[in-house]
Amino acid sequence: MDTLDPMVAETEAAVAAPPDTRVNLVGLTREELVAELAKIGAEKFRAQQLWQWMYNRGATDFEAMTSLSKKFRAQLAETHVVARPAITRAYESVDGTRKWLLKFPDGQEVESVHIPEDDRGTLCVSSQVGCTLTCKFCHTGTQKLVRNLTPAEIVGQVMNARDKLGEWPTPAEDRQLTNIVMMGMGEPLYNYENVSKALKIVMDNEGLSLSKRKITLSTAGVVPMIERCGAELGVNLAVSLHAVTDELRDVIVPINKKYPIAELLQACRTYPGSSNARRITFEYVMLKDVNDSPAEARELVRLLDGIPAKVNLIPFNPWPDAPFERSTSAAIKIFADIVNDAGYSSPVRTPRGQDIMAACGQLKSESIKLRKSELLRREAEAAAASA
């Protein structure tokens, strides 16, 4: 056995530890919470009380939930937990951006980022460990191991931020966490069920209480899920476009081979709830000499015709050995002016938290190294499950 590798040693230690079999109450929908508590004989109104303790007050210790009877609290502590993900690293940028590395019981890790601005504070939330999309300019896409996050792990990122920002109970105003963007690691529409459950919990106004207008989900273009996302969640949509021809987009955003530009834009045209007041954001990473010419800006304007759209230009954020460079400021300005003159707002996204690798596309956690036998076991399990 190779005990020199600390990650392997850690995995084995984790396997040896007796598992905590208590059920986590975080991440259950209201209905699931009622059903879960019914198993230990609790009535429906108990679920309502617990919901408020967990999501409005931020309580994690049943003992602190003083509106519950002593007996019920003791019973809960034996069978259930209100768990938070473990924080293994915390970083703070010179510009105030904060990044947390969260670790889950199976050893997998993701990052979330809080970006404070004058008039708002945005939390960038991850939906998967790693990502299957392999967009060529994105660091997360180089990460090998991928799994979906559970609703608890997604909501847990928001609760962790609220812990760290000291924002319990949920403040009615003057919040430091005002907005959520599903723009961290992963493709949220490839983990729709869990993201949807999590966002419904986040939007519940007796809990974390973030309105759908303050939540933006970003997708690289999983076309069949876009309509459902709009109809069921009603959150703002952002689309990672990044190229104006299928020829280029096939290469830099490979999901384009499955869902080409015309189909993607058609889904945007009919996105439920979009209007001139609620525009779809088109993200466009500025890659030097790749997609940043004035001709491409004009083609972008042509493509967006008829869609209530705004364009968010993202200067490429570098990462080690990335095969691209950031466009020059002059090229970005010319591009932005063309889009802007055509009537689309086209702000350039200021890179935030670059010194802590927290800017767009820089997130990547070290996948835990699994022993070969464990990898093979998991593959066999996945194959059996999909058979």
Residues in contact with ligand SAH by the rule CB under 6 A: 133, 135, 137-138, 183, 187, 218-220, 240, 283, 285, 314, 316-317, 360-361
Q: Is 229 a catalytic residue?
A: no
Q: Which is nearer to ligand SAH, 11 or 317 (CB)?
A: 317
CA-to-CA distance for 182 and 283, rounded, in angstroms? 13
CA-to-CA distance for 26 and 201, rounded, in angstroms? 9
- Smallest distance from the beta carbon of 190 to ligand SAH, in angstroms? 8
Residues listed for the chain: 387
Any bridge partners for residue 148, and if so which? Answer: 128
- Smallest distance from the beta carbon of 253 to ligand SAH, in angstroms? 7
Q: Which is nearer to ligand SAH, 267 or 285 (CB)?
A: 285
What is the 8-class DSSP label of residue 348?
B
Q: Which is nearer to ligand SAH, 42 or 182 (CB)?
A: 182
Q: Which is nearer to ligand SAH, 58 or 351 (CB)?
A: 351
- Smallest distance from the beta carbon of 195 to ligand SAH, in angstroms? 11
CA-to-CA distance for 227 and 109, rounded, in angstroms? 30
The single residue of 124, 131, 138, 360 carrying the catalytic annotation is 360
CA-to-CA distance for 324 and 223, rounded, in angstroms? 27
CA-to-CA distance for 112 and 163, rounded, in angstroms? 13
Of 237, 252, 264, the closest CA to residue 133 belongs to 252
- Smallest distance from the beta carbon of 51 to ligand SAH, in angstroms? 29
Residues 6+ away with beta carbon under 8 Å from 158: 123, 125, 177, 180, 202, 208, 210
What are 86's two structure tokens?
């473990």
- Smallest distance from the beta carbon of 235 to ligand SAH, in angstroms? 13
Q: Which is nearer to ligand SAH, 207 or 318 (CB)?
A: 318
What are 329's two structure tokens?
């400021």
Helices (H), the chain: 6-16, 30-38, 44-51, 70-79, 151-165, 192-203, 223-232, 246-252, 261-269, 294-303, 329-341, 372-386
CA-to-CA distance for 339 and 342, rounded, in angstroms? 5
Q: Is 360 a catalytic residue?
A: yes
Of 311, 301, 351, 368, the closest CA to residue 101 belongs to 368
The single residue of 36, 109, 111, 296 carrying the catalytic annotation is 111
Q: Which is nearer to ligand SAH, 28 or 336 (CB)?
A: 336
CA-to-CA distance for 270 and 264, rounded, in angstroms? 10
- Smallest distance from the beta carbon of 316 to ligand SAH, in angstroms? 5
Q: Which is nearer to ligand SAH, 233 or 314 (CB)?
A: 314
Which position has the token pair 């890790």?
109
- Smallest distance from the beta carbon of 211 to ligand SAH, in angstroms? 21
Q: Looking at the annotation, which residues are catalytic?
A: 111, 360
